[in-house]
Amino acid sequence: MAEGQVIVGLEVHCQLDTKSKLFCGCSTDYRNDAPNTHVCPVCLGLPGAMPVLNKRSIEYAMRVAKALNCSVLPESEFSRKNYFYPDLDKAYQITQYDKPLAEGGYLEIESDEGGEKRIRITRIHVEEDPGRLVHRGTTESGKYSLVDYNRAGIPLIEIVSEPDMRSPKEARKFLNKLRATLEYLSVFDSEKEGSLRVDANISIKGSERVEVKNISSYKGVEKALLFEITRQKSLLRRGQKVDRETRHYLEARGVTQSSRSKEQEHDYRYFPEPDLRPLHVQSWVEGIVLPELPDARRERFIAQYGCSLNHARTLTGELRLANFFEKVVAADPTGLSTLADTWIADTLIGELNYRAMSIDAVDATGFTELLTLLKQCIITDNSGIEVLRVMLDQRRDNQSCETPSAIVDRLNLRKVSFDTAQSGIEGNPDIDPLRTSIAEVLMEHPAAVEDFRKGRKGAFNFLIGQLMKKTRGCADPAELNRLLQEELNKKEA
């Protein structure tokens, strides 16, 4: 490793998508409800209440362990992590300490140099989420906190990586791959706000390690890391030392800040949770059947649908997107795959991002219809984009959604083309709108025609451009080319 090399490790906390909490039966669907309405004696930490482990949370965590190639320990147990904080109602968090659920695995990502790279996983364990704090008050002495315990007891899986990442980009890729994997396993819903939190450990080779906490978005990870690396590098450039410390990421300002909070000396006084029995679940691993995971799906998309590597990566990088693709091409895979490939991975995603819309908003049947219109050359690519935009806008603005065919007809986007079989009359300008348009353009731009005669290539393209404008993109470019060539040759003759 080169001196000055960036070293990054991540600790990722994801909420497991179970129906009830980790140690009690309170529903986990708390986000739209009033505070303190998903609480019972257990998750409120009332004196005398006792935890009982949710089996599904362990099943889910083991799926993750298997998918990440980890070894499940023959015996694992829960421990108490003791510290005081208003959102921690028992003043300890039930977590796993020296006997986690699983250890030692890896996740493959695309490395910065190209090719695949393995990021090693140190350990995976299960723990409970604390409650949520809201801060009120403006003056220093008038400040106070409000606590909502709805979130207390939600099951979390913590995935710790070795410091194998070498750039913010690799960190983002790791996180994306991890998120996609967890979604494919049906154990995690990334759409839920706050369902994923990241702590990052960053150092420059030869210097101290800094921990950055409180990163709660994917974009935030890359930004936080970029900021922190810049900060550390500039300290070193000025001959100063990087202090070993914990910093907080402030999302709104995009900066990391040294933690002023009175986090007590990190003496958590761990000991095994006496109210819970140990887990002997190594024997469950064999029976876990993993679904098709992102890498396998990517390979299948390449083999089965002929997608390019890049497109396949993009399409399988998100479960919902991959499902959308397959749904769209289902009726006619051979005919639609190539179109769907580009149209979804390049065009649709761009249009969705621009509108801050999710793939869930797109009706697969409608999209299939659009692709079919394109395949049948009924509309041109440009018209296709116009139709797509109308479809998305209608959806976004909650208007009644028209079918693509309806939009095409309403906006008169059917491709204009010469069809001798239909017209029965060859070259009759009165009946052939395309030839009429060509005739008009040639009349309107005699200088260009002259240039063409003189052999200037650019003139032809100019004329094509004018024709495209006149036919409002309805004409098929290839046919336009052919007919213009014909007309020009005719004139010459």
Tell which positions 118-147 bind other proteins, by CB under 8 A: 133-137, 141-147
Closer CB to other proteins, 237 or 260, in the complex = 260
**Nearest CB to other proteins, comparing residues 214 and 466:** 214
Q: How far is the CB of 6 from other proteins (least distance, A)?
A: 28
In the complex with other proteins, the residue whose CB is nearer, 276 or 293, is 276
Min separation Cβ 252 and other proteins, Å: 13
Minimum CB distance to other proteins smaller for 48 or for 424:
48
Which residues lie below 8 Å from residue 78, measured CB to CB, with a gap of 6+? 53, 94, 95, 96, 126, 272, 273, 276
Range in contact with other proteins (rule: CB under 8 A) among 22-30, 234-242, 366-374, 394-402: 22-30
As a whole number of angstroms, the distance between CA 50 and CA 47 comes to: 9
Residues in the chain, how many?
Answer: 493
Rounded Cα–Cα distance for residues 125 and 11 (Å): 11
Binding-site size, other proteins (CB under 8 A): 72
Stretch that binds other proteins, among 37-45, 170-178, 205-213, 374-382 (CB under 8 A): 37-45
CB-nearer residue toward other proteins: 133 or 290? 133
The span of 79-87, 180-188, 221-229, 292-300 binding other proteins (CB under 8 A) equals 79-87
Q: Shortest Cβ distance from residue 390 to other proteins (Å)?
A: 42
469 binds other proteins, rule: CB under 8 A: no
Tell which one of 19, 31, 244, 453 touches other proteins (CB under 8 A): 19
**Rounded to an integer, what distance in angstroms lies between the CA atom of residue 153 and that of residue 22?**
6
Is the CB of 265 or the CB of 430 nearer to other proteins? 265
Q: Which is nearer to other proteins, 124 or 441 (CB)?
A: 124
Nearer to other proteins, 128 or 432 (CB): 128
Comparing CB distances to other proteins, the nearer of 280 and 396 is: 280
Q: Does 365 bind other proteins (CB under 8 A)?
A: no
Q: Is 27 one of the binding residues for other proteins (CB under 8 A)? A: yes
Q: Which long-range contacts (CB under 8 A, 24 or more apart) does 89-95 make?
A: 89/43, 89/44, 89/45, 89/130, 89/131, 89/149, 89/152, 90/45, 91/45, 93/127, 93/128, 93/130, 94/22, 94/23, 94/51, 94/127, 94/128, 94/273, 94/276, 95/125, 95/126, 95/127, 95/128, 95/158
Query: By CB under 8 A, is residue 46 in contact with other proteins?
Result: yes
Q: Of these, 71, 261, 376, 412, which contacts other proteins (CB under 8 A)? A: 261
Report the sign of the C-alpha dihedral through residues 180, 186, 189, 194, in that order.
Answer: negative
Residue 192 touching other proteins (CB under 8 A): no
The token pair at 40 is 């019972």
Nearest one of 378, 368, 322 to 349, comparing CA atoms: 322
Stretch that binds other proteins, among 24-32, 306-314, 373-381, 452-460 (CB under 8 A): 24-32
Q: What are phi and psi of 27, to 5 degrees?
A: -70, 145
**Residue number, 274 or 455, with CB nearest to other proteins:** 274
The CB-of-262 to other proteins minimum distance in angstroms stands at 5
Of 5-13, 259-267, 313-321, 361-369, which part binds other proteins (CB under 8 A)? 259-267
Comparing CA positions, the residue from 267, 361, 378, 268 lying closest to residue 320 is 361
Within 268-287, the residues that bind other proteins by CB under 8 A are: 269-271, 274-281
Q: Based on C-alpha coordinates, what's the Rg of the chain?
A: 30
Neighbour count for residue 134 (Cβ, 10 Å): 11
186 touching other proteins, by CB under 8 A:
no
Binding mask 146-165 for other proteins (x = CB under 8 A): xxxx----------------
Token pair listed for 400: 């009644």
Q: Which of 45, 294, 366, 384 binds other proteins (CB under 8 A)?
A: 45
Beta-bridged to residue 156, according to DSSP, are 15, 127
Binding of other proteins at residue 91 (CB under 8 A)? yes
Which strands, in side-by-side order, build the sheet including 79-82? 92-95, 79-82, 271-272
**Dist. CA 390–CA 405, nearest whole Å:** 12
CB of 92 vs other proteins, minimal distance in Å: 6
CB of 85 to other proteins, least distance (A): 7
Query: Least Å distance between CB 18 and other proteins?
Result: 5
| Burial of residue 137 (number of CB atoms within 10 Å: 0-12, 13-18, 19+) | exposed
Q: Which residue has the tokens 């890729």?
A: 173
Q: How many CA atoms lie within 13 A of 324 on its CB side?
A: 25
CB of 203 to other proteins, least distance (A): 24
Strands of the sheet containing 102-110, edge to edge, are 71-72, 102-110, 116-128, 155-161, 6-15, 196-204, 210-215, 245-250, 255-258
Site string for other proteins, 48-67 (x = CB under 8 A): xxxxxxxxxxx---------
Residue 134 CB, nearest distance to other proteins (Å)? 7
Query: What is the H or E stretch that residue 452 is in?
Result: helix 446-453
Cα diameter, the chain: 101
Residue 244 or 396: the one with the smaller Cβ distance to other proteins is 244
